[in-house]
Amino acid sequence: MTEETERDALQLQDFLTFRLAKVQARLNAQAIRILKDTAGISLSQWRVIAVVGAGGENTVLAADIKRVMGYDKGLFSRTLHRLIEQGFVTSQTDTGDQRRQALALTETGKALFDRTLPIMQARQHSLRSALEQDELDALCSGLEKLEAEVDRQGQAA
Amino acid sequence: MTEETERDALQLQDFLTFRLAKVQARLNAQAIRILKDTAGISLSQWRVIAVVGAGGENTVLAADIKRVMGYDKGLFSRTLHRLIEQGFVTSQTDTGDQRRQALALTETGKALFDRTLPIMQARQHSLRSALEQDELDALCSGLEKLEAEVDRQGQAA
DNA sequence: CTAATTTAGTTGACTGGTCAACAAAAATCA
DNA sequence: TGATTTTTGTTGACCAGTCAACTAAATTAG
């Protein structure tokens, strides 16, 4: 019985972060597969295209995207260059501040965006449809509180 | 206004999986940092030690751990060998089925487990303490439903 | 009993993502 | 103005994780 309770206690304490990690890994894998099959791009590439595409005709600053996505500098830089190489995005250094890059989608990039957005939106919708509205709210609220607690702990350390 | 609503709509549709990914990334980074600083092991190594350690004096089958953790074969194999090299875990091939490996912690491994478990439990506890019990239940329930929906979609495809 | 299939594990190649060192432009300040 | 610091981005090295090819042991079917 001691072993059982020990084991249960451990599984229990590990429940939250481990479960979160597992679910997230599966959602991630699903998104990666969909994007690879339907658009031939990576998840980080899609996120950049999505944000630039959401800007419509306006150009979007690279630094803003990086900030919004919370991505690493290095990862973002490489992702962006791959997108430029593949001809989905154009980059123009700001005339005022030459460190800044203003991004826009090419015609090919726009076509990819228009084709891929409904697919990804449909996925989001079907995921959301598994939950009632109040469950969805509770999930988001719980995630926010967890995130705030990680911040709080990070500050303390 | 069109740009605004487009942008908002996009941020909204991206909310759930993106928010989940961000929170999980931060939780993961926190766990990795704690384990590196206090125990000098990786997260995947800790999870193996945690499961083997939870078995107490009983040996635990490698295949069972792999299944419980949902880890890739290759990752698990390499993680295990690093643990054996470092002297935290011993592996003994099953006398009946020579493909199976029965794992146990060495004395060093047990010491590491005993030292690290309370640290990780304390972390879990403080994360949980950010949520009321019903919020925690709602979060777990929401995650389960999401996971089930991913399964359902995966089956369909 | 042998052949085919399944299961467990190992290995190499590859991608994604993090970290740290660096370069260049801009802002701050003496 | 010129020196220092800050911000922005690039690059190389590295670790985590996935995938596919392979080996070996066990099981199943003929």
pLDDT-derived band at A80 (thresholds 50, 70, 90) equals very high
| pLDDT in the model for residue A9 | 54
Mutation to test the B interface, candidates A59, A137, A143, A152, most B Cβ within 10 Å? A143
Pairing between β-strand B60-61 and β-strand A60-61 as defined by DSSP bridges:
unpaired
Q: Which residue is nearest to nucleotide C7 (CA to C1')?
A: B99
Q: Is A87 left (phi over 0), alpha (psi -120 to 50) or beta?
A: left
Q: Stated in angstroms, how far is B147 CA from D28 C1'?
A: 35
What string of DSSP letters covers A11-78?
Answer: HHHTHHHHHHHHHHHHHHHHHHHHHHHHT---HHHHHHHHHHHHTTTS-EEHHHHHHHHT--HHHHHH
Give A32→chain B minimum CA distance, Å.
12
Neighbours of B43 (CB within 10 A): 18
Which stretch of A55-64, A135-144, B81-90, B119-128 has the lowest confidence by average pLDDT?
A55-64
Question: What pLDDT is attached to residue A2?
Answer: 46
- Give the percent of chain A with pLDDT over 90: 59
**How distant is C1' of D8 from CA of A104, in Å?**
19
* B84: closest CA of chain A, how far (Å): 22
From the Cβ of A110, is strand C under 7 Å away? Answer: no
Judge: B26–A58 Cβ closer than 8 Å, yes or no: no
CA A59 to C1' D1, in angstroms, rounded, equals: 36
Q: Do the beta carbons of residue A52 and residue A65 sit within 8 Å? A: yes
Q: What is the pLDDT of residue A154?
A: 67
Report pTM: 0.87
Question: Which nucleotide is at minimal CA–C1' distance from B96?
Answer: D26
Task: Assess whether A72 (CB) lies less than 7 A from strand C.
Answer: yes
A 10 A CB-CB count for B6 gives: 15
B44 Cβ within 7 A of any nucleic strand D atom: yes
Nucleotides of C under 7 A from a protein CB: 7-13, 15-21, 24-27
Q: What is the DSSP string of A117-149?
A: HHHHHHHHHHHHTTS-HHHHHHHHHHHHHHHHH
Alpha carbons B113 and B136: distance in angstroms, whole number: 27
Q: B103, B101, B99: which is closest to B56 by C-alpha?
A: B103
Cβ contacts (< 8 Å) between B28 and chain A: which residues? 21
Task: Round and report the angstrom distance from CA (B84) to C1' (C5).
Answer: 32
**A51: nearest Cα among A36, A62, A42:** A62
Mean pLDDT of A75-92: 94
B119/A contact by beta carbon, under 8 A: no
* CA–CA–CA angle A50, A54, A58 (5° rounding): 125
- Highest average pLDDT, of A93-97, A99-103, B114-118, comes from B114-118
- Taking 70 as the pLDDT cut, the residues of chain B under it are 1-14, 154-157
Per-residue confidence (pLDDT) for residue A153, from 0 to 100: 75
Q: Mind telling me how many Å the CA of A138 is from chain B's nearest CA?
A: 6
**Contact by Cβ (8 Å): A116, A46:** yes
